């Protein structure tokens, strides 16, 4: 008999009428179709159009920042954001190994190198204490910049990732990074609607980045955004992501190595309709999280909940099992019964592509990797 049969039935009850329960599916219950038809009728389906402007205005308001730049996906947003804070060829970036690979790929796209720092057990995101410990051992200030005494390379940025929408301990991380003159780029790809001390995540770093991939709470099919309060950096981000073309009615003059990373108007139309429903999606997901928390608590299973002074968006909800054996059994039984569950990501340094980069002991990340499972989390 299945050890987790009762749990499988309970999850199915949260999503009635589904033969297959997905991990996270989009919901299109608003103006999506009408906005898409409006875009098609206008013929402005590419990178210029009113919905791009509307999306940028809505995102600036929702993220609590003064400037938003719409781009094609979250990975490209991370790549550009790192370049904007001064990450150059041969530099290093502090980040976590417990993340989706795009976080680290964006560092390499800038010809820089990651340093993998451990996460906190409660937030599952980059640990300020682990960052401080690393810098106390290896950090050195030279001419106003932080350098790694072991590699002699500049540590040009710190990029925390708010895992599954649970905010990192930003206050402590900011103190540590300010002490070492290291700018922060927030990877808030999974965190639309999450808050830290009543302020939207993504608004704390020099720049913040969001993703609107098909599996996110808010989706534009494919899309991303860079947010900032620095108007100069925002203007440069817009310039670089639109092929660094100087404004002109008909001449093509490009004054920097830019990128064709513009979000198409048709994707922006979808995003705008989705953002109009954000509060509804978040409320529904919190109701689901409450139901899960009540169920799993009575069974002695740790359902991961938001930390004090934070508000999680509960993008992907997760449970912590006793050990890897239980985790693997849960994954097998749920997926065999058409309930989609997934383990947390394999730690990035376990890939041969990233095995040789500097890292600390990764004690907490290794613990979580063996125990965390994502369970169906769609708004209903």
Q: Is 70 exceeded by the pLDDT of residue 358?
A: yes
- Return the percentage of the chain with pLDDT > 70, whole number: 100
Confidence class for position 2, pLDDT limits 50, 70, 90: confident
Over residues 237-247, mean pLDDT: 95
- Predicted pLDDT of residue 1: 62
Cβ atoms of residues 96 and 359 within 8 Å: no
All CATH 3.90.1150.10 domain ranges in the chain, comma separated:
5-23+278-349+358-375
Whether domain 5-23+278-349+358-375 has CATH 3.90.1150.10: the reply is yes
**pLDDT higher than 80, residue 278:** yes
The CATH class given to the 32-277 domain equals alpha beta
Mean pLDDT of the chain: 97
Q: Could you read off the pLDDT of 290-309 as tens digits, one per residue?
A: 999 999 999 999 999 999 99
Straight-line distance from the first to the last Cα atom of the chain, in angstroms, rounded to the nearest whole number: 30
Residue 180: which of 231, 127, 128, 228 has the closest Cα?
Answer: 128
Q: What is the mean pLDDT of residues 145-154?
A: 98
Q: Using CA atoms, how far apart are residues 131 and 359, in angstroms rounded to an integer? A: 11
The three-state (H, E, C) secondary structure of the chain, written as one string: CCCCHHHHHHHHHHCCCCCCECCCCCCCCCCHHHHHHHHHHHCCCCCCCHHHHHHHHHHHHHHCCCEEEEECCHHHHHHHHHHHCCCCCCCEEEEECCCCHHHHHHHHHCCCEEEEECECCCCCCECHHHHHHHHHHHEEEECCEEEECCCCCEEEEEECECHHHCCCCHHHHHHHHHHCCCCEEEECCCCCCCEECCEECCCCCCEEEEECCCCCCCCCCCCEEEEECCHHHHHHHHHHHECCECCCCCCCCECCCCCECECCHHHHHHHHHHHCCHHHHHHHHHHHHHHHHHHHHCCCCEECCCCCCEECCCCCEEEECCCHHHHHHHHHHHHHCCECCEECCCCHHHCCCCCCCCECCCHHHHHHHCCEEEECCCCC
Over residues 174-180, the mean pLDDT reads 98
Q: Can you name the residues that pair with 184 across neighbouring β-strands?
A: 158
Q: What is the mean pLDDT of residues 34-40?
A: 97
For residue 46, the model assigns a pLDDT of 87
Contacts for 330-334 with beta carbons within 8 Å, 24 or more apart? 330/4, 330/7, 330/373, 331/373, 333/2, 333/3, 333/4, 333/5, 333/8, 334/4, 334/7, 334/8, 334/11, 334/375
R_g over Cα of the chain: 21
Query: Among 250-254, 260-264, 272-276, which stretch is predicted with the lowest mean pLDDT?
Result: 250-254
Each residue of 89-130: pLDDT tens digit? Answer: 999 999 999 999 999 999 999 999 999 999 999 999 999 999
Q: What is the pLDDT of residue 47?
A: 81
Domain(s) labelled CATH 3.40.640.10 in the chain stretch across 32-277
- pLDDT, residue 380, reads 87
Mean pLDDT confidence for 209-216: 96
Cα gap 377→360, rounded to integer Å: 32
């Amino acid at each position: 008999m299945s050890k987790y049969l009762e749990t499988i039935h309970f999850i199915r009850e949260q999503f009635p009428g589904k033969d297959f329960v997905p991990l996270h599916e989009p919901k299109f219950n608003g103006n999506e179709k009408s906005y898409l038809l409006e875009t098609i009728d206008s013929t402005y389906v590419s990178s210029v159009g009113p919905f791009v402007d509307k999306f940028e205005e809505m995102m600036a308001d929702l993220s609590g920042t003064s400037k938003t730049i719409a781009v094609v996906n979250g990975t490209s947003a991370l790549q550009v954001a790192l370049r904007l804070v001064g990450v150059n060829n041969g530099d290093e970036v502090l980040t976590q190994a417990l993340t989706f690979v795009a976080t680290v790929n964006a560092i390499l796209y800038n010809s820089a190198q990651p340093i993998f720092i451990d996460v906190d057990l409660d937030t599952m995101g980059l640990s300020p204490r682990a960052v401080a410990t690393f810098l106390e051992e290896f950090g050195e200030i030279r001419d106003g910049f932080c350098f790694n005494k072991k590699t002699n390379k500049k540590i040009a940025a710190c990029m925390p990732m708010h895992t599954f929408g649970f905010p990192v301990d930003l206050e402590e991380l900011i103190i540590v990074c300010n002490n070492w003159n290291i700018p922060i780029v927030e990877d808030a790809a999974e965190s639309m609607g999450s808050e830290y001390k009543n302020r939207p995540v993504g608004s704390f770093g020099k720049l913040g980045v969001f993703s609107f991939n098909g599996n996110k709470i808010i989706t534009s099919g494919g899309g991303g955004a860079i947010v900032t309060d620095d108007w100069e950096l925002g203007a440069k981000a817009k310039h670089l992501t639109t092929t660094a073309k100087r404004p002109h009615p008909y001449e093509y003059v490009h004054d920097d190595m830019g990128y064709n990373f513009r979000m198409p108007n048709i994707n922006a139309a979808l995003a705008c309709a989705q953002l109009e429903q954000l509060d509804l999606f978040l409320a529904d997901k919190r109701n689901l999280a409450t139901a899960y928390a009540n169920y799993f608590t009575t069974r002695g299973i740790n359902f991961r909940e938001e930390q004090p002074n934070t508000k999680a968006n509960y993008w992907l909800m997760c449970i912590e099992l006793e050990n890897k054996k239980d985790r693997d059994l849960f994954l097998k039984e749920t997926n065999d019964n058409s309930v989609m569950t997934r383990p947390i990501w394999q730690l990035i340094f376990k890939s041969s592509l990233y095995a040789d980069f500097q890292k600390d002991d990764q004690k907490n990340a290794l613990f979580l990797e063996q125990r965390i499972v994502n369970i169906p989390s769609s708004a209903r």
